[in-house]
Structure 1
Amino acid sequence: MGEWPKGYTRHVFDTLDSTLSEAARMAPTLAGPAWLLAHEQTAARGRRGRAWSTPRGNFAGTLIMPRTGSPADAALRSFVTSLALYDAFVATTGQADAFALKWPNDVLLNGGKVAGILLESLGNHLVIGIGVNLAHAPTPDQVEARAVTPISLLQGTGVAVEAETFLNALARAFAQYETQFLTYGFAPIRTAWLARAARIGEVVTARTMRDETVGVFEDVDGQGNLILKTAKGRVAITAADIYF
């Protein structure tokens, strides 16, 4: 499966409250980017503080890295991470056609959610939390109404992947895309992401805490915004939950 990427440290724990919380505790001592993996989390969270189910056998990981560039550049790491997840799934299952990327930070397997990403700023660090349903998926009653149905990698592909094996593939893929991003900017990342995008050309609903926008998913612009074609024209969505 190749070597661990140079410049990144690797920290594996049996049980943690949360890899995001452990990253915060470790931040003052880190000299460079570090991957953290917990085989079990007892107090995990997802976007907007939602609970994220992480039973043993799934992947609960966090990358903490020095923050470089603008806050906008930091936000674009969700696309870098999505592409790395896609490549890690393909590397571990050999089933490229089964996966697609859902704006802004989920990975789909046969239309179900198999992975999610959470970005947070922590002082001079960027923290990227990643949850993957390797062996188990939450039941429908554990997710909000209209959300994409969860699926596990084992259920969707028939392939059993160990968390540490997945970490190795993910870390290598991330390092390659991160180097590309730092060297050439967002443009090639955007192109690669759009080639793997779910529901492009179809009607989707973008919901924020305040309103909903319905339109055809046309594009992602150079700032990472979702571009919808609506009855009132093209609309750029900066942040929202997307429903199909």
Structure 2
Amino acid sequence: MTTAKDIQLPEGYGLQAFDVLDSTNEEAKRLAAEKPTQHLWVQADQQSAGKGRRGREWISERGNLFCSLLWKADCDLKTASQLSFVSALAVRDVIADFLQADRRVLCKWPNDVLVDGKKVSGILLETAGEGLTDPEYVIIGIGINLSRHPEEALYPASNLAELGCPDLEPLPALQSLVASLDYWMTEWRQKGFDYIRRRWLERAKGQGEQIIIRLPDEEIHGRFIDLDVTGGLKVETESGIRVIAAGDVFFAPAG
């Protein structure tokens, strides 16, 4: 049985594992206040107050992977936001490897991962520490549905067990994720965001297709054509090209 002590970490990284936390992102924020000099992974078997994008609840029962990386930043906020796509690629590769089904596993803008069109993972980026434009730390919160998923969700969901990968435990999954994220962060640092952007598009669902983007005060219908240089979603609408910085994407029904 894998324990937290068995997790192999890249140089400069630490790991803190817990039975129960309110949220791994919240624990990462508390750790950031202690000014750690290394990057820290935080993992919990269960969360009592897990959260997703836009403050939504993230169902956090035992059996799934709940973790966050407290990354000591060395870039500005605009650059740090690229980690959303870096992280999505890392998670996608982990899931595709577990399922041995590369083409079934796709990225959904901005940072979800889908298998057979159903959401199995989510990512939440936050910042911590002083500085608004140059954050001290970036927190990358990641949840992967290993053995269960919410029955009622904003987007159809599933888990890896029902998709063909039973008996996968959180800590072995974390080990794979640690290695995958380290790989993709190295690629990002060495090759830049345009490389990441192109790799993400190769693994994206819906490019060239009709999509719906729901914003707080508007619903946009159009064709997903590209990502811009910042990662914004480029959509061709009846009134022209629009670039969306944040929103919830849904895929239009066939026909």
Match of 1:177 in 2: 184
Q: Distance in 2 between the 1:148 and 1:48 partners?
A: 14
- Residue aligning to 1:57: 63
Q: Deviations over 1:130-166 (max 9, x none)?
A: 11111001012xx2xxx32110111112433111111
Helix, strand or coil at the partner of 1:154 = coil
Q: Which amino acid aligns with 2:100?
A: G
For residues 175 and 31 of structure 2, the distance between their equivalents in structure 1, rounded to whole angstroms, comes to 21
Deviations 1:93-130 (A, max 9, x none): 32212210000010001110000000111121111111
Name the structure where helix makes up a greater proportion of residues: 1
Structure 1 match to 2:148: 136
Query: Secondary structure of 2:196's match?
Result: helix
Shift of 1:92: 2.5
How far is the alpha carbon of 1:4 from its aligned partner? Answer: 3.0
Structure 1 stretches of at least 4 aligned residues deviating more than 4 Å after TM superposition:
none
2:85 alignment partner, one of 61, 66, 79? 79
What is the aligned partner in structure 2 of residue 20 from structure 1?
Answer: 25
**Contact 2:98–2:165 (8 Å) recurs in 1:** no
Following TM superposition, by how much is the alpha carbon of 1:29 offset from its aligned partner in structure 2, in angstroms?
Answer: 4.2
Equivalent-residue separation in structure 2 for 1:172 and 1:209 (angstroms):
36
Name which of 221, 226, 237 aligns with 2:233.
226
Structure 1 Cα separation of the partners of residues 214 and 93 of structure 2: 29
In structure 1, distance between residues paired with 2:143 and 2:62: 12
**Contact 1:13/1:37 (8 A) holds in 2:** yes
Corresponding residue to 1:155 among 141, 159, 162: 162
TM-score after normalising by structure 1: 0.93
TM-score, normalised to structure 2, is 0.90
Give, in angstroms, the shift of residue 215 of structure 1: 0.6
- Contact kept, 8 Å, 1:92 with 1:169, in 2: the verdict is no
How far is the alpha carbon of 1:5 from its aligned partner? 2.2
Give the corresponding residue for 1:127.
139
Match of 1:189 in 2: 196
> Aligned residues: percent identity?
36
Tell me how far apart the structure 1 counterparts of residues 94 and 183 of structure 2 sit (CA, whole Å).
12
Q: In structure 2, what is the equivalent of residue 43 of structure 1?
A: 49
3-state DSSP class of the match of 1:153? coil
Name structure 2 gaps, 5 residues minimum: 1-6, 130-135
- Measure, in 1, the Cα distance between the counterparts of 2:100 and 2:9: 20
Contact 1:207 1:242 in 2 (8 A): yes
Matched position secondary structure for 1:177: helix
- The answer as to whether partners of 1:46 and 1:52 remain within 8 angstroms in 2 is yes
- Find the partner of 1:165 among 172, 186, 194: 172
Q: CA RMSD in A?
A: 1.4
- Tell me, yes or no, if the aligned pair for 1:66 and 1:125 is still in contact at 8 Å: yes
Distance in structure 2 (CA, Å) of the matches to 1:120 and 1:32: 18
Matched residue count: 238
* 1:146-187 per-position Cα deviation (integer Å, ceiling 9, x unaligned): x32110111112433111111111111111111111122101
